[in-house]
Structure 1
Amino acid sequence: MSNEVYNNLYETRNNVVKEISSLNFTQFNDRPILNQWSIAQVCHHLVLVEQATIMAIEWGLKEVDNTVKKRKNVQLILDRTKKIKAPKIVEPDVEPFEVQSIIDMLADSRKKLLNFLSAIEDKSILALKSTNHPALGELPLDQWIEQIYLHEQRHIEQIKEIKLHVDVS
């Protein structure tokens, strides 16, 4: 895995925290748009996606099929005109969250991801194995890692949009 991927993971997560750290409880948990998530729920979803990504990569590493899969344009995740229904496993809780609690959860999930990745001795295997992604189909495991920060970038835009509708003055 390249330094660019690590840098993107770091930078994007810092941007998420920067967007939410000054919010109060009400701003964080308000749902100003009917049938859409609060900022807290968006952030909880990011934690759940990161946890699910670790499980998916673990699963993919156990697969015996070493056929190199076609690489996907994971940048498509950034296109917010294409709505993607979150699978149940990564749907956020409806209960409210404290901002600091979510910041801690985000830090913990990222630490677990980085520890998991550092434990993989031969990282080149990540480009050779794949597993099914709910939005992108069969996806090489190294692209599962790339989609984490792209997915977060997508949701940073959503957070900014929600902030326009909540009182952040």
Structure 2
Amino acid sequence: MSQLINDHLCETRNNLVEEIKLLSDTQFNAKPDANSWSIAQVCHHLTLTEASFIRLIAWALKQENSKQAGRKNIHIIADRTKKVPAPEFVVPAEDFFTVQQIIELLDESRGKFTAFLDTIEDPSLLAEKSYKHPFLGDLPLDQWVELVSIHEQRHIEQIKEIKNIHQS
């Protein structure tokens, strides 16, 4: 894994933990409204997404007929003005989570993600193979890796918005 990608993953995760670590469990699980996620659910969604990215990248790397896709502007994912419904398999649970539980889940999912990336024998394949993203279309696998921190940044902004709603 490139040092730059690793640095982005670390920086983004540290920013996320900073946003949530001082919240009470009640604040953490409070929803802004009936149709929105709590901060706990946003974080749970991030762990589910990271696990799904491992599965899809691993699967796509094994495909013989995977074609090389053009590079996309994946930073549009960070744009919070564009609502994007989460695919069913990354919709968070309605459970009550403690901040500590979620921090442990976040640590676990990031550990698994970086360990997985370190097992890829030929990282150049990440640029050569692709997998279809639900909103961006065919996306090179190395951009899927970059998407982890960009997606997380999007949700850090969402967490800040939720915190502002609760403070008003």
Q: Report the TM-score, using the length of structure 1 for normalisation.
A: 0.96
Residue 68 of structure 1, CA deviation = 1.8
For residues 144-159 of structure 1, what are the structure 2 equivalents within 5 Å?
144-159=144-159
Unmatched runs of 5 consecutive residues or more in structure 1: none
Residue-by-residue CA offset, 1:13-60 (whole Å, 9 max, x unaligned): 011111000000110000023311000000000000000000110111
Residue 37 of structure 2 aligns with which residue? 37
Residue 9 of structure 2 aligns with which residue? 9
Residue 2 of structure 1, CA deviation = 2.5
Q: Which runs of 4+ in 1 moved over 3 A?
A: none
The alignment-based identity, stated in percent, is 54
**Letter in structure 2 aligned against 1:37:** W
**Letter in structure 1 aligned against 2:30:** D
Relative to 1, partners in 2 of residues 1:67 and 1:32: Cα closer, same or farther, differing over 3 Å? closer
Q: Report the TM-score, using the length of structure 2 for normalisation.
A: 0.96
**Letter in structure 2 aligned against 1:81:** T
CA–CA distance in structure 2, aligned partners of residues 64 and 128 of structure 1: 11
**Letter in structure 1 aligned against 2:53:** T
Matched, 1:56 2:42: no
CA–CA distance in structure 2, aligned partners of residues 135 and 105 of structure 1: 26
SS of the equivalent of 1:123 reads: coil
8 A Cα contact 2:60 2:66, kept in partner: no
Unmatched runs of 5 consecutive residues or more in structure 2: none
How many positions carry a matched residue from both structures?
A: 168
**Letter in structure 2 aligned against 1:19:** E
For residues 15-164 of structure 1, what are the structure 2 equivalents within 5 Å?
15-164=15-164
